[in-house]
């Protein structure tokens, strides 16, 4: 089945630790995105990538890093520099190029809690 | 500053009621407006609107865009408990997309 997967579903981290969230898609989409969702707020864009080996900062990139070595994969690292990392993280993909006309397909999300 | 505002933020209705959710926006170079439904985790796509005045319909859900007044509405008729979800509006402009905060709809039996 075609789709987009994220792992793990739940993640707990101690303060000061880096943690990497996985996102994989087999939809053959070129564009991939990472969003953060907090209660009462809409999805906020962290990073997006239009093509392998290229990515751009979104609205709230500070404290996060990404890589795009393969078309199918777009992992997100939450670093210790992120001051308030507890949130629900959603990964999405869409047909390329990144466009306002392409619907995005979302993964099931990862809930990160910093202890 | 570009923004997308949804209202109401929260809504509680009973089965069979009709609801109207609103999404207004202020962006430069508007391109599209999308509605998503988010139940437990991943948002799922409902509609994409690019032209004013043309209603998109899917079962009991329908949506329309007004590019002059800069808003869209999502209507749900004869609501069911399965319609309970967060409904997200997203506006595409230039090569960006901005999401509203969402409307949390609760449908009681």
A109 CB neighbours in chain B (<8 A) are 41-42
C-alpha A66/C-alpha A21 separation (Å) is 10
Mean pLDDT for A6-35 is 93
- Which of A5, A25, A103 is the best mutation test for B, with the most CBs of B within 10 A? A103
C-alpha B27/C-alpha B36 separation (Å) is 19
C-alpha B44/C-alpha B64 separation (Å) is 18
Q: What are the residues whose beta carbons fall under 8 Å from the beta carbon of B69, sequence distance 6 or more?
A: none
Q: Number of C-alpha atoms within 13 angstroms, CB side, residue B13?
A: 23
Look up residue A77 and give its two tokens: 């690292």
> How far, in whole angstroms, is CA B76 from its chain's centroid?
10
pLDDT tens digits along B24-52 = 999 988 989 999 999 877 899 999 999 89
Instruction: Please indicate whether, in this complex, the C-beta atoms of B44 and A45 are within 8 angstroms of each other.
Output: no
Q: Is the pLDDT of residue B96 over 90?
A: no
- Which of A35, A42, A47, A98 is the best mutation test for B, with the most CBs of B within 10 A? A42
What is the model's pLDDT at position A42?
83
């Amino acid at each position: 089945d075609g789709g987009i997967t994220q792992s793990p579903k739940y993640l707990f981290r101690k303060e000061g630790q880096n943690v990497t969230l996985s996102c994989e898609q087999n939809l053959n989409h070129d564009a991939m995105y990472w969003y953060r969702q907090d209660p009462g707020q809409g999805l906020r864009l962290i990073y997006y990538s239009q093509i392998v080996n290229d990515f751009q900062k979104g609205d709230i990139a500070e404290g996060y890093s990404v890589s795009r070595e393969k078309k199918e994969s777009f992992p997100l690292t939450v670093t210790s520099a992120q001051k308030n990392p507890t949130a629900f993280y959603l990964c999405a993909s869409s047909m390329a190029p990144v466009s306002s006309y392409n619907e995005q397909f979302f993964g099931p999300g990862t809930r990160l809690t910093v202890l | 500053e570009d923004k997308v505002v949804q209202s109401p933020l929260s809504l509680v209705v009973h089965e069979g009621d009709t609801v109207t959710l609103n999404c207004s926006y202020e962006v430069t170079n508007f391109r599209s407006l999308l509605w998503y439904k988010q139940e437990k985790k991943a948002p799922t796509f409902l509609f994409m609107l690019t032209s004013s005045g043309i209603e998109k319909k899917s079962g009991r859900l329908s949506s329309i865009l007004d590019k002059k007044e800069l808003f869209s509405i999502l209507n749900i008729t004869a609501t069911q408990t399965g319609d309970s979800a967060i409904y997200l509006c997203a506006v595409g402009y230039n090569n960006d997309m901005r999401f509203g905060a969402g409307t949390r709809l609760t449908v009681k039996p």
